[in-house]
Structure 1
Amino acid sequence: MAQELAVSAGVAGQMISTTATLAMLSGLILPSLLKKLDRRQMILGITLLLVLSSLLTSVASNIWLLLGARAH
């Protein structure tokens, strides 16, 4: 991944760590913010966001686009 994005292995590793940290924080915060929404609508919205994120990740040409796509 680092070679394809023309970054060092350390930067690629930090990108993965940043994504995991953001996933943990959103997992802690989002349930309390979204508790009033219908569960089906919430699951559909999150699924659509995941699909969009995956599509953007697949075409990312640089580390910043990849980080933005994975930090949904």
Structure 2
Amino acid sequence: MEEIEPSQIYLKGYNAGYMLNKYEPKLLSQILANENRHHEFIKALYDGGKQWQKEKMVEEMSRGVNKNRGQSIE
């Protein structure tokens, strides 16, 4: 299957969504609540924000596993 390159608009939106969710999640929520998600840039904002959430969750789970290592279960 041929891989499709994302457009420049999508890439900019994705990166913006990732950074907004990392540093200004309330602002990203406000933007997404008021915009049409069918627009390529807005969809990319949403996708980038979701990626940040996934990475954050994996990091938190990893810290929890490492924190609990060495503790005995009673």
TM-score (norm 2): 0.36
Greater helix fraction, Structure 1 or Structure 2? 1
Structure with greater Cα Rg: 2
TM-score (norm 1): 0.37
